[in-house]
Structure 1
Amino acid sequence: MKFYQLNALVAVADAGSIRGAARRLDTSPAAVTKALQKLEADTATQLLIRHTSGIVFTEVGKKLLVEARLLVAQMVSARQVLADGNGELTGRLAVAVTPWLAMTLMPKAVVCFRQRFPQVQLELHEGLSSVACPRLREGSIDLFVGRLDTHSRSADLTCQPLFTADCAVVARQQHPLSDCHAMAELDAADWILASQQDETITRQGHVHFAHSLSMLLSLLRETDMLSIFPWPLVEICAQREGLCALPLREPVGSASVGAISRSGQPLRPAAERFLECLIDVIHFEMGQAQSPYRRMLQTVDLLV
């Protein structure tokens, strides 16, 4: 197997067609087709099924695609490391950020980073861990600033804790359970969660998961489902989205946020500088008496 063959395989998967892959790779459809045919011949395995409506991967093709994505991403990263080592940071940096940071301090962090490193192209993602961690593993994201949970705690990922925040149970305003003071009163409730780390909820038959913040908010507004939010997200979203935090007497738990990257690979200089900009912005806003984010940041314990 050659790199150009795997690169063609990934491009076809992303573009959905030979022509689209050729545009992505700045080559001809015939060259992409030849690369794929050579890959199938070299491996003696059918990887793709070609239809008039498009291309479908075989089961073996899907498995090889996972490895191909990682190899292509590592090659791109290796080239970028060489470029970074020459002094001026350039190229693309893909970062995913937990929603409450994305909605508040991310713009200032981006402005800070762009002023210092104008030659780096940013690709930004709102990051729930169930979505961001798989993309981090496959190499399409360089850095994830997000919740440390079951998705991120594994040998193939490295985590640097940045801050922690207490959590709260949230529901729509006027919810039948909005005045409850004990978790035991919530035993029969339906839950919609973003993370499987919320171990407070043990009645598995009533627990569901959403991998989109907008979907989660919609379900909370329009149904009697409950959820668990870190307090910064409560401060940002509750009033605006018609939600409230239940006045529970016992603690609900805490959420830790950290910088997550792939194990065995040093963090790219551009990713390190972006993280520094984000931390600088957080420190600055914490020290400003008139900061619009002061109330939110008072719910956070900074660890760096």
Structure 2
Amino acid sequence: MKLTQIRDLIATAETGSLRAAARHLGVTQPAITRSIRELEQELGTPLFERHQFGMQPTATGRIMLERARAVQEELRRAREEIAQLQGEMTGDVRVAMSTIATFALMPQAVRAFRATHPRAVLKFVESLYQPIEAQLLSGQIDFFVGPFSDQGRASRVTSETLFTNRRVVIARKGHRLVGATSIAQLTEAEWVKQALPDRQSEGDFERPFIQAGLPMPNVIMHTTSATATLLAVANGDLLTSVPRQMLDAPVSRDLFAVLPIREDLFAAPICLVRRTDLSLTPLAEFMFDMFRRAGLQYGRKTGGLGAG
């Protein structure tokens, strides 16, 4: 198996056709066709289903594609690590962050990183853990910062807690319920709920009502966006519950009131997560440490329980 075949396999899958893959790579279409055919002959199985309007990976093709991407990322990482060890501190650092980490930690971590490594390129993806888990395991993402629970997780990742977390109920300023001190006073309210694509977060929104033996909140709007959720609350009579870091931005403090609810509203701890079997490049390791420092400082400042 040749590295050019791995390159061609990935390009064909990502562009959807041999012609587009050839154009993307700057080679001829017959060369791509021959490369894919030879790889299929070597493996003894078709890797693509050929249709009139494109090519789709077969079941075995998807398995091979996942491994090919991992190989490609390992080679990229190796080249960058060798260059960095030789003193050339350039290359990419790829980080996935939750919205909480973006608001609370990213600015401080980036300032510290850029002060030392101005030539490096930072690539951030805003996401929870579950949607990016495969990319973390394949090496496409260096590490994750955000809410994480290791219950039921494979041992291929390791995590360290930066600080504990909690949710707050918010409303627009001037809302009739801004003085409520218990969720029992919110049973008649209408809510907007951000639907989070992560199993860890399922039930966080409703848990306080269940624990108090109250009816489920009257959710009249569902979103998949933190921005849409905040806009809905700011421009109407809806309530929502969000991690408290969502209010760190000045615009949030100006628009919203935090209800002084006495019940504890659970949120998963904020963690750093990385693969156990893969060392980070020196640049990625430095950025990992900058997020660690930012997280521990934030935890001390807000009363969260930091690690170490």
Q: Which TM-score applies when normalising by structure 2?
A: 0.74
Question: Equivalents in 1 of 2:113, 2:152: separation in Å?
Answer: 25
Are residues 1:251 and 2:264 paired?
yes
Counterpart residue number, 2:302: 298
* Paired amino acid for 1:259: L
Are residues 1:261 and 2:274 paired?
yes
Q: Which TM-score applies when normalising by structure 1?
A: 0.75
* Structure 2: unaligned runs, 5 residues or longer: 211-215
Are residues 1:98 and 2:98 paired?
yes
Counterpart residue number, 1:78: 78
Partner SS state of residue 256, structure 1? strand
Counterpart residue number, 1:53: 53
User: Which stretch of structure 1 is more off in the superposition, 105-114 or 221-230?
Assistant: 221-230
Residue 156 of structure 1 contacts residue 262 of structure 1 at CA under 8 Å; is this kept in 2? yes
1:174 Cα deviation after fit: 8.1
Residue 190 of structure 1 contacts residue 224 of structure 1 at CA under 8 Å; is this kept in 2? no
Task: Find 1:233's aligned residue among 242, 246, 262.
Answer: 246
Are residues 1:181 and 2:185 paired?
no
Question: Equivalents in 2 of 1:64, 1:186: separation in Å?
Answer: 52
Counterpart residue number, 2:199: 196
Counterpart residue number, 1:88: 88
Are residues 1:160 and 2:156 paired?
no
Are residues 1:271 and 2:284 paired?
yes
1:300 Cα deviation after fit: 4.4
* Residues 46-89 of structure 1, C-alpha deviations (whole Å, 9 max, x = no match): 22133343322223322322222222222322333323332332
Shift of the 67–52 alpha-carbon distance from structure 1 to 2, 3 Å rule, reads same
Question: Equivalents in 2 of 1:260, 1:180: separation in Å?
Answer: 36
Partner SS state of residue 242, structure 2? strand
Shift of the 65–175 alpha-carbon distance from structure 1 to 2, 3 Å rule, reads farther
User: Which stretch of structure 1 is more off in the superposition, 14-23 or 51-60?
Assistant: 14-23
Question: Equivalents in 1 of 2:42, 2:177: separation in Å?
Answer: 62
Residue 146 of structure 2 contacts residue 271 of structure 2 at CA under 8 Å; is this kept in 1? yes
Residue 230 of structure 1 contacts residue 255 of structure 1 at CA under 8 Å; is this kept in 2? no
Between the two structures, name the one with larger relative contact order (CA 8 Å, sep ≥ 6).
2
Paired residues, number? 294
User: Which stretch of structure 1 is more off in the superposition, 240-249 or 39-48?
Assistant: 240-249
Shift of the 83–2 alpha-carbon distance from structure 1 to 2, 3 Å rule, reads same
* Paired amino acid for 1:16: G
Partner SS state of residue 197, structure 1? helix
1:264 Cα deviation after fit: 0.7
Question: Equivalents in 1 of 2:45, 2:232: separation in Å?
Answer: 45
Shift of the 239–277 alpha-carbon distance from structure 1 to 2, 3 Å rule, reads closer
Question: Equivalents in 2 of 1:152, 1:133: separation in Å?
Answer: 14
Question: Equivalents in 1 of 2:299, 2:45: separation in Å?
Answer: 57
For the pair shown, the structure with the greater C-alpha radius of gyration is 2
Partner SS state of residue 87, structure 2? coil
Residue 159 of structure 1 contacts residue 258 of structure 1 at CA under 8 Å; is this kept in 2? yes
User: Which stretch of structure 1 is more off in the superposition, 182-191 or 124-133?
Assistant: 182-191
* Structure 1: unaligned runs, 5 residues or longer: 288-296
Question: Equivalents in 2 of 1:196, 1:241: separation in Å?
Answer: 32
User: Which stretch of structure 1 is more off in the superposition, 62-71 or 219-228?
Assistant: 219-228
1:156 Cα deviation after fit: 1.7
